[in-house]
Amino acid sequence: MKSLLAVGRYLIVRTLMVGITLVVGCYLIVIIMNMGGKLDDVRRAEIRSNVASAIFLDPSNRGIPADALKVMVDELAELEYERLGLDRPFFPWRSLEYLFTALSLKLGTAEQLTSDTGSRSVARILSERLPATLVLFGTSNLLLFFLAIQFALFLSRRYGSLVDRTMVGLAPLSSAPGWFYGIFLILIFAAVLRVLPWGGLVQVPPPDTAPAYALSLLEHMILPVLAITIGALFANVYRWRTFFLIYSSEDYVELAKAKGLSARGIQRRYIMRPTLPTIITSLMLILIGTWQGQIILETVFNWPGLGRQYLAAVNLNDTPVILGTLVIYGYLLAGTLLLLEFIYALVDPRVRVGGGKV
Amino acid sequence: MNTLLRNLRELRRYPSAILGLTIIGLLIVLSIYAVIAIPYSEAIRLWRGGPGVWDELPRNASPAWFDLFTGKSLSRTIVVDSRTEGTRTREPLGDGNVRERLILALDFRYDTFPTEMSLFSTATYETKRSKLTATWVKPDGTRVALASGRSIRSSDTYYISLDNQLRDRLPQMAAPEVALFGEFGASSPKGEWKTQPGTYELVLEADMPEAYTLESKLVVYGSVYGIAGTDNQRRDITVALLWGAPLALLFGLLAALGANTATFVLAGIGTWFGGFMDSAFQRLTQLTLLLPLLPILIMVGQLYGRSIWLILAVVILLNVFSGAYLTYRAMFLQAKEAPYIEAARAYGARHRRMIFRYLLPRIVPVLLPTFVLVVPQFVFLEASLAVLGLGDPILPTWGKLIYDARAADALYKGYYYWVLEPAILLMVTGFGFALVGFALDRIFNPRLRTM
Q: Establish if A352 belongs to a structural domain.
A: no
- Based on the fold, state whether residues A143 and A263 are members of the same structural domain: yes
- Based on the fold, state whether residues A18 and A144 are members of the same structural domain: no
What is the distance of C-alpha B213 from the center of its chain? 40
Q: Which residues of A170-193 are buried (b: 16+ CB within 10 A; e: fewer)?
A: ebbbbbbbbbbbbbbbbbebbbee
Q: What angle do CA B364, B330, A142 make, to 5 degrees?
A: 105
Using a CB–CB cutoff of 8 Å, tell me whether B296 touches chain A.
yes
From A93, A122, A151, give the residue that closes a domain. Answer: A122
The domain spans of chain B are 2-46+236-449, 64-221
* Of residues A21, A232, A301, the one with CA closest to residue B321: A21
CATH code for the part of the protein at B64-221: 2.60.120
- Based on the fold, state whether residues A65 and A150 are members of the same structural domain: no
- Based on the fold, state whether residues A59 and A171 are members of the same structural domain: no
From A105, A122, A139, give the residue that closes a domain. Answer: A122
- Which one of A25, A175, A177 has the shortest CB-CB distance to B290? A25
pLDDT in tens, A63-81: 778 788 888 888 888 888 8
- Based on the fold, state whether residues A162 and A297 are members of the same structural domain: yes
Mutate to test the interface with B, among A28, A32, A175, A326 (most CBs of B within 10 A): A175
Per-residue pLDDT for A31 more than 70?
yes
User: Average pLDDT of B318-322?
Assistant: 87
The Cα–Cα gap between A340 and A28 comes to 25
Architecture category of domain B2-46+236-449 in CATH: Orthogonal Bundle (1.10)
- Based on the fold, state whether residues A243 and A175 are members of the same structural domain: yes
Domain extent, residue A247, equals 128-347
User: Average pLDDT of B307-331?
Assistant: 86
Q: Are B237 and B228 in contact (CB under 8 A)?
A: yes
- Based on the fold, state whether residues A54 and A97 are members of the same structural domain: yes
Using a CB–CB cutoff of 8 Å, tell me whether B280 touches chain A.
no
Alpha-carbon torsion, ordered A158, A160, A162, A165, to 10 deg: 110
A17:B286 CB<8 A? yes
Per-residue pLDDT for B22 more than 90?
yes
Residue B216 sits at φ, ψ, to 5 deg, of -130, 150
- On the CB side of A34, how many CA atoms lie within 13 Å of its CA? 17
From A122, A142, A168, give the residue that closes a domain. Answer: A122
pLDDT in tens, B353-369: 888 888 888 888 778 88
The Cα–Cα gap between B295 and A307 comes to 8
pLDDT in tens, B185-244: 766 566 688 888 888 989 988 888 877 888 888 999 988 888 888 988 889 999 999 999
Number of domains in chain A: 2
Answer with the residue of higher pLDDT: A128 or A353. A128
Q: Establish if A357 belongs to a structural domain.
A: no
Q: Are B177 and B160 in contact (CB under 8 A)?
A: yes
Instruction: Quote the pLDDT of residue A175.
Output: 83
CATH code (residue A288): 1.10.3720
- Based on the fold, state whether residues A109 and A212 are members of the same structural domain: no
- Residues of chain B neighbouring A22 (CB-CB closer than 8 A): 290
ipTM score: 0.82
Instruction: Quote the pLDDT of residue A356.
Output: 43
- Based on the fold, state whether residues A77 and A20 are members of the same structural domain: yes
Q: Are A271 and A253 in contact (CB under 8 A)?
A: yes
The Cα–Cα gap between A170 and A237 comes to 10
Confidence of residue B400 (pLDDT cuts 50, 70, 90): very high
The number of helix segments (H) and strand segments (E) in chain A equals 14, 0
User: Average pLDDT of A333-350?
Assistant: 81
The Cα–Cα gap between B374 and B325 comes to 14
Task: Judge whether B2-46+236-449 and B64-221 match in fold.
Answer: no
**Residue partners of B112: CB distance under 8 A and separation at least 6:** B72, B73, B74, B75, B195, B223
The Cα–Cα gap between B156 and B150 comes to 10
Using a CB–CB cutoff of 8 Å, tell me whether B417 touches chain A.
no
